[in-house]
Amino acid sequence: NAASKSLISSSTQLLAVIGDPIRQSKSPLMHNAALQACHWDGVYTAFQVSSEQLEQAIEGMRALGFRGMNVTIPHKEQVIHYLDQLDESASASGAVNTIVNDNGTLIGYNTDGLGYVRSLKEESGVDVSSASILIIGAGGAARGIAYALLREGCRKLYVANRTKERAFQLAEDLAEFGAVIPIGIDEGIPDLNPDEVNVVIQTTSVGMHPNVDDSPVASSWLRQPMVVSDIIYNPLRTKLLQSAEQLGATVHEGLGMFVYQGAIAFELWTQQPAPTVLMRQTVYDTLG
């Protein structure tokens, strides 16, 4: 019956997110809602783990037979050292956000970039294979998204970064997956004709709470036919997205990236399709 189904038993599978800090994480609520909706016998919790104890935490996960974990700030890079295998998504981006325990073998994945690209397709209807895309920023988030876009056969991909050398480095590191064209950006003006660009993806921390009046792209450079996207979801409507909206451009909010990185992780662990609408609503309801 329904009551006994919701109980934790000796066969319940274990999932968790580890990070430091962790109490702000929306992942437990989102995943437990999804697990219950799919009647998958599992539970998802959160652990605050310091860098000094990361290795022991991973060994603990292994010893206790956890089915999987999410890994968040500041452990996404360091955790690689303690895993048995890396999926290409993790090796290409140099970071892991999802671990799958495959019968004792710990495999690292990065679902951030893949999740972002899926949200762009499913929520904003972007056809990546025919799009010319500009990524703003060349840090870890940009790298994961660039990898996923190249894997999806993006028609043309530009990366603009304040420090231009980092854009060149990103292009070099991802060259085996396809061409990335590094460009400069000065005072918010990318060194590129805006009419050449269909989609702009903002991946820096510029505009994040509490600096909500900042934008890394000048509104004068934006065009109405563009899809303008920001991976920041605090606030949901960044300054950049507000400017884009005023022009009549299509905007794509950062919440989708969070929901879909979780959806892909959920599918890796449970081998079932993720209830993405429910997951999105669960997270949305917790936002202030």
Closest of 40, 43, 78 to residue 57, by C-alpha: 78
According to CB under 6 A, which one of 13, 78, 132, 205 is a site residue for ligand ATR? 205
Place of tokens 């690209």: 117
CA distance 114 to 47: 25
CA distance 19 to 46: 8
206 binds ligand ATR (CB under 6 A): yes
According to CB under 6 A, which one of 115, 216, 235, 256 is a site residue for ligand ATR? 216
Place of tokens 């000796």: 10
Site for ligand ATR in 136-175 (CB under 6 A): 137-142, 161-163, 166
CA distance 154 to 151: 8
Which string of b and e fits 123-152 if b means at least 16 CB within 10 Å?
Answer: beebebeebebbbbbbebbbbbbbbbbbbb
156 versus 166: smaller Cβ distance to ligand ATR: 166
Do the annotations mark residue 286 as ligand-binding? Answer: no
Do the annotations mark residue 45 as ligand-binding? Answer: no
54 binds ligand ATR (CB under 6 A): no
Backbone angles phi, psi at 15, to 5 degrees: -135, 155
Do the annotations mark residue 166 as ligand-binding? Answer: yes
Count other Cβ atoms within 10 Å, centred on residue 193. Answer: 9
List beta partners, residue 12: none
115 binds ligand ATR (CB under 6 A): no
Q: Is residue 281 within 8 Å of residue 256, measured between CB atoms?
A: no
CB of 140 to ligand ATR, least distance (A): 3
Q: Which is the catalytic residue, given 5, 76, 121, 156?
A: 76
CB of 39 to ligand ATR, least distance (A): 36
Stretch that binds ligand ATR, among 51-59, 84-92, 114-122, 131-139 (CB under 6 A): 131-139
Site residue total, ligand ATR (CB under 6 A): 15
Largest CA distance in the chain: 62
Stretch that binds ligand ATR, among 81-89, 112-120, 200-208, 266-274 (CB under 6 A): 200-208
Verify whether residue 76 is a known catalytic residue: yes
CA distance 241 to 264: 26
CB of 203 to ligand ATR, least distance (A): 6
CA torsion, points 45, 51, 53, 58, in degrees to nearest 10?
A: 60
List beta partners, residue 133: 157, 199
Q: What is the per-residue binding string for ligand ATR in 33-52, x denoting contact by CB under 6 A?
A: --------------------
Do the annotations mark residue 261 as ligand-binding? Answer: yes
Do the annotations mark residue 12 as ligand-binding? Answer: no
- List, as residue ranges, the binding site: 25-27, 72, 88, 97, 112, 137-141, 161-166, 231, 233, 254, 261
Binding residues for NADP(+): 88, 137-141, 161-166, 231, 254
The residues annotated with a catalytic role in the active site are 76
Interface residues toward ligand ATR, by CB under 6 A: 137-142, 161-163, 166, 203-206, 216
